[in-house]
Chain A
């Protein structure tokens, strides 16, 4: 297809534009969620904000750090760490009420989040030692599988009537699908360029859906 050919031929520029868009979306979501957190001190909003803050950091590290440092062994673990932590924060924003009713002083440095940091570091170390990204992919697939189940149960709880619950569920399934495709691309398709473009597209839709939801809800 000519569009795929054009993208592949200009992949470096496309990657930078893609990263700029994702980082910008994450920045907007983080800012809007932070504004609401500053007023409500609500833990769920706080973890949701942290998730997109870490997604933004991850994409910025992956695509922009290479202009400062070309060290793949520094950039890739950082990218993986931020992405795994973002996934944990997103999942925890849905779960925290069932696990932890108290509001910790810091949402970045507390005992429960410390467990996530430890798990993220273990995942990165395993990938680093074996020089594969499989542990991160497995972790993300598990995280998004749980998040999809929880968001479906929220959608069901609203008698399938809440448009936003449906959007949230669709976004989570897209996220899950993108990570499964990522794993398949690594294991079976030897990083086929066309498959990678589709993954980028799915990721962009995932972030755009969240931005749409956040802008729509915060619009007064």
Chain B
């Protein structure tokens, strides 16, 4: 059985996809993050609310996502956060 991804891992995958593709469209991000549309919406709403990513409109009038500095910081610190949780048994 495939291990369920932890919440932090899902967030990392979403933010990493945005960083790699830059202004990524929602359909491509759903595909890249490997989530159901319902779960995807929940995560995106949470990450937008916490200012990890922002929604933008491109020149064709389509919605795209881009990373904020806080989202960037999360990706840089992800390994530290993961180690902290693991090592202190949190």
Residues in A lying within 8 Å of B, measured CB to CB:
33, 36, 39-42, 44-45, 47-48, 93-94, 150-151, 154, 162, 164-165, 168, 213-214, 217-218, 220
Contacts and interface: CB of A to CB of B under 8 A. Distances in A.
A150 B90 CA distance: 11
Interface in B31-72: 50, 70
A217 B77 CA distance: 11
A164 B80 contact: no
Interface of B: 8, 50, 70, 73-74, 77, 80-81, 83-90
Contact of A40 (B8, B87, B88, B89): B8
A168 B89 contact: yes
Query: Interface on chain B toward A: helix, strand, loop, or mixed SS?
Result: helix
A40 B81 contact: yes
Contact of A94 (B8, B73, B83, B90): B90
A165 B84 contact: no
B34 to A, nearest CB: 21
A39 B81 contact: yes
B88 A48 contact: yes
A93 B88 contact: yes
A159 B62 CA distance: 51
26 contacts: A39-B70, A39-B73, A39-B81, A40-B74, A40-B81, A41-B50, A42-B8, A42-B81, A42-B85, A42-B90, A45-B84, A45-B85, A45-B90, A47-B90, A93-B90, A94-B89, A151-B89, A154-B89, A162-B87, A164-B87, A164-B88, A165-B87, A168-B88, A217-B80, A217-B84, A220-B80
B18 to A, nearest CB: 16
A95 to B, nearest CB: 10
A16 B27 CA distance: 61
B85 A44 contact: yes
A94 B87 CA distance: 11
